[in-house]
Structure 1
Amino acid sequence: MADFTSAVYQNEFLPDGGTDVNAIVTISCTGAGTAGQSGGDAGEIIIVDTSGSMGETNMEAAKNAAIVALDHIVDGTYFAVVAGNHQAYLAYPVTRGGQGMVRMDSSSRFQAAQAIRYFHSDGGTAIGSWLNLTRALFNSVPGLTQRHAILLTDGENHNETPQQLDAAIQAAIGQFQCDCRGIGVDWKVSEIRRVAQALLGTVDIIPHPTQMGAVFAELMQKSMGRGVAEAELRVWAPQGAQVMFVRQVSPTVEDLTNRSRQVNPLTLGYPTGAWGDESRDYHVAVRLAAKAVGQEQLAARVQLSVGENVVTQGLVKAKWSSDDTLTTRINPAVAHYTGQTELAEAIQQGLAAKAAGDDATATTKLGRAVQLAAETGNEEATAKLRKVVDVQNEDTGTVRLKKSVDKADEMALDTASTKTTRIRG
């Protein structure tokens, strides 16, 4: 049975007239078990881009990777395989009605692998149609409590309008989670990031076809290790208070603020998706009405709920003080993750400016990113930034844009921009 714990990191002291309380809430899970083994069935769908741009090399690698993913789906899990180009096709199982997914066993695994081997590259790209079919397949199986997909693409969404893709993403929110991967350099990071973020998944680049099998294996293993199908972060704040924002800040930056639902008049709920054995950090900011020096107040109650059962909670507090040595301290965890959030924004804005030909803004933003990466100890971001800019002074963020940059390196920096590093010590 899954065991959840929580810890709160904050400076609870506010100056006279102070109103804003910031806290980092760390929630950890152990003993999560295996997907579909703790009440309710799990479902997995593998979505493979079979458009003409995939070509022979990428297509063969994608077929092999999809077959590897099948090997990591636990027996008894419902699954399906979707082939996508300018349309979406149900490659396996072969069905004309009823449930569009079957349970995994040795027979269905073999048949699905045979179907995948017939894939060939042809046609265009319409990712919205792939998402629509995936949603319909999940909805065809009653009682699926956990729904996860892996989506692979190599190109931009040329065969449907942005509005069609937006509508498909919107319709899929809350229906399933989706980890997205792009092979090569001809896909659009911002486009695929929108899909992944909306569907509580991840986005990353696969620079070379030979890496695809290992990526698919890791994604499926992680999904199968999420024995808690779905959980909700709930934030209670007192009457008259305002929850300014709620962000996941580790292992990635994900702004949950606009994804809230009203649980009761004083409590908002935020989706977190499925959980395995892991820890996640959340930055919660609450604005209170100022109180007199010497008074104290509960600023927020942050809970994780599985169904209607609260499995852990942390308390965020506020105390008003006239002691400057107390009120001017910034909690190290709050400072660290504030920097990590700014780092993600600086990288994305810098790369967007570079793509638009605005070298001055790109230099400023990417220089600030170098500075923040060094300050927060994000070595992965530092290494990726150094492939895009020449660093003259890390401490001041003085950089020059490289004259020649491999597009894969730029895309790797972009996809990794939201990955954070935990506070040192």
Structure 2
Amino acid sequence: MSSFTAAVYQNEFLADGSTDVHAIVTVECTGAGQAGQQGTGEAAELIIVDCSGSMGPEGIRAVQAAAAAALDQILDGTWFAVVAGNHQAYVLYPYNPQRLTLARMSPQARQEAQASLAALRPEGGTAMGTWLELAATLVRTAPTVTQRHAILLTDGKNQHETPAELDARVRTAVGTLQVDCRGVGADWEVGELRRIAQALLGTVDLIPRPDQMAEEFASLMRASMARGVAAAELRVWAPQGAQVLFVRQVSPSVEDLSARRSEVNALTGAYPTGSWGDESRDFHVAVRLPASRPLGQEQLAARVQLVVGGEVQSQGLVKAKWSDDDELTARINPEVAHYTGQAELAEAIQEGLAAKASGDDRTATAKLGRAAQLAAETGNEEATAKLRKVVDIEEPATGKVRLKRQVDRLDEMALDTASTKTTRVKR
């Protein structure tokens, strides 16, 4: 059975008059097992692939290989389906003209599903919201399924539905599907896929070449099959009159969970975190207390719990203690400082690339310079390496950079998709 532990890292000492408390809560899961093997629900996997005209024959062959590789990783007994999409969406497998349904994985079903991939043809446009709407409808046909994951692949922009239509269709999948999004090549929009992935508790990443798709699909599916905890939520209690400023996942990637809050009771909010395998995640919780307390007094500022199926699995306590000792109150907790920098780094990269794309070189230089400085300060070597392909870093400590004259579009996209990936603080 799975088990969770929680640890809190913070400087609990506040100066007289201060009310804001910051803490990093590390939650670790062990013994997660395999998808659909714990609890009362079952697991479902959907493979959603782009078969629009832009894929071309080479892209379709790569899609067929990638989908086949993913199917090889799905455990027997798991519900599954393959959805193909262009400006429309249709179920490639299991094909049933009478009604929508999922299939149960078995050696025979795997062979049939892989054989069905031969029917894919590159034609039509792109409407990803339609694909997701069909996928969400499909998984609802299996009421025993509680863990629902999908891989979505595209090579282009969403051109056959408006942004409002896409958002509305994505909302139909919220709470129903957890979706990892991948874009192949250089003609898709990172921001577009990131919005889908963030709404659906998934990830976004770049696959530079079609021949790399099969390995990525297999890896994604293996990871999903290793998540034996179907869904967990982070619950944050704060005292009467306090304000939860934000709740962010900060490792392994930066994800602001604040807007996902649902009310448990007057003092407690719940933040969905999706499914878990054997892993560790860090969360940054910030609370503003209603008033400063007398010097020397201590107060519980927040209670942070990891909850599965309504049962508390682990708990961390965030405290506040007021002091007039400047040496105590001036200390910046290294975990809080590290992840604050990582969150700012992600924002600086995304804003810098957006400014560069719009022709605002001055803002782009300033933002990407700040990103280079933060990457150096926080030891994020991956971000530094990717930044060097977009800017010449002259002085990392001060953030002095120059925009490169010629930059490969794929290098910019790699920097953008990796912007939210963080390095763990060294403890």
Aligned letter for 2:302?
A
Q: Contact 1:98–1:140 at 8 Å: present in 2 too?
A: no
| Equivalent residue number for residue 218 of structure 1 | 219
Does 1:12 pair with 2:15? no
Please give the alpha-carbon distance, in whole angstroms, between the structure 1 residues aligned to 2:270 and 2:122. 43
Aligned residues: 425
Runs of 4+ aligned structure 1 residues displaced above 2 Å come to 96-99
Please give the alpha-carbon distance, in whole angstroms, between the structure 1 residues aligned to 2:384 and 2:57. 35
| Equivalent residue number for residue 61 of structure 2 | 60
| Equivalent residue number for residue 269 of structure 2 | 268
Deviation at 1:97?
4.0
Deviation at 1:98?
4.6
Please give the alpha-carbon distance, in whole angstroms, between the structure 1 residues aligned to 2:405 and 2:238. 51
The 5 A counterparts of 1:33-72 are: 33-39=33-39, 40-72=41-73
Secondary structure, counterpart of 1:333 in structure 2: helix
Please give the alpha-carbon distance, in whole angstroms, between the structure 2 residues aligned to 1:59 and 1:237. 52
**Aligned match of 1:406 in 385, 403, 408?**
408
Does 1:394 pair with 2:411? no
Secondary structure, counterpart of 2:43 in structure 1: strand
Please give the alpha-carbon distance, in whole angstroms, between the structure 2 residues aligned to 1:385 and 1:424. 22
Please give the alpha-carbon distance, in whole angstroms, between the structure 1 residues aligned to 2:260 and 2:200. 11
- C-alpha deviations, 1:289-348, integer Å up to 9, x for none? 211111110000000000110000000000000000000101000000000000000000
Aligned letter for 2:179?
C
| Equivalent residue number for residue 227 of structure 1 | 228
Deviation at 1:118?
1.7
The 5 A counterparts of 1:318-333 are: 318-333=320-335
Q: Contact 1:377–1:424 at 8 Å: present in 2 too?
A: no
Please give the alpha-carbon distance, in whole angstroms, between the structure 2 residues aligned to 1:98 and 1:262. 37
The 5 A counterparts of 1:150-161 are: 150-161=151-162
**Aligned match of 1:362 in 361, 364, 372?**
364
What is the TM-score of this pair, normalised by structure 2?
A: 0.99
Please give the alpha-carbon distance, in whole angstroms, between the structure 2 residues aligned to 1:99 and 1:272. 29
Please give the alpha-carbon distance, in whole angstroms, between the structure 2 residues aligned to 1:302 and 1:424. 22
Please give the alpha-carbon distance, in whole angstroms, between the structure 1 residues aligned to 2:29 and 2:94. 35
What is the TM-score of this pair, normalised by structure 1?
A: 0.99
| Equivalent residue number for residue 170 of structure 1 | 171
Please give the alpha-carbon distance, in whole angstroms, between the structure 1 residues aligned to 2:219 and 2:146. 22
Q: Contact 1:294–1:321 at 8 Å: present in 2 too?
A: yes
- C-alpha deviations, 1:332-379, integer Å up to 9, x for none? 000000000000000000000000000000000000000000100101
Deviation at 1:269?
0.2
Please give the alpha-carbon distance, in whole angstroms, between the structure 2 residues aligned to 1:207 and 1:32. 32
- C-alpha deviations, 1:253-311, integer Å up to 9, x for none? 00011110000111000000000000000000000121111111000000000011000
**Aligned match of 1:291 in 271, 280, 293?**
293
| Equivalent residue number for residue 382 of structure 1 | 384
- C-alpha deviations, 1:193-236, integer Å up to 9, x for none? 00001000000000011111110011000000000000010000
Secondary structure, counterpart of 1:56 in structure 2: helix
Extract unaligned runs of 5+ from structure 1.
Answer: none
Aligned letter for 1:24?
I
Please give the alpha-carbon distance, in whole angstroms, between the structure 1 residues aligned to 2:234 and 2:29. 14
Deviation at 1:424?
2.2
Q: Contact 1:93–1:100 at 8 Å: present in 2 too?
A: yes
Please give the alpha-carbon distance, in whole angstroms, between the structure 1 residues aligned to 2:80 and 2:409. 35
| Equivalent residue number for residue 134 of structure 1 | 135
Please give the alpha-carbon distance, in whole angstroms, between the structure 1 residues aligned to 2:362 and 2:382. 24
Aligned letter for 1:210?
D
Deviation at 1:99?
5.1
User: In percent, how many aligned pairs have the same letter?
Assistant: 67
Secondary structure, counterpart of 2:172 in structure 1: helix
Cα RMSD of the aligned pairs, angstroms, is 0.7
Please give the alpha-carbon distance, in whole angstroms, between the structure 2 residues aligned to 1:181 and 1:111. 25
The 5 A counterparts of 1:88-167 are: 88-98=89-99, 100-167=101-168
Secondary structure, counterpart of 1:18 in structure 2: coil
Extract unaligned runs of 5+ from structure 2.
Answer: none
Deviation at 1:27?
0.1
**Aligned match of 1:300 in 291, 299, 302?**
302
Deviation at 1:57?
1.3
Does 1:87 pair with 2:114? no
Secondary structure, counterpart of 2:362 in structure 1: helix
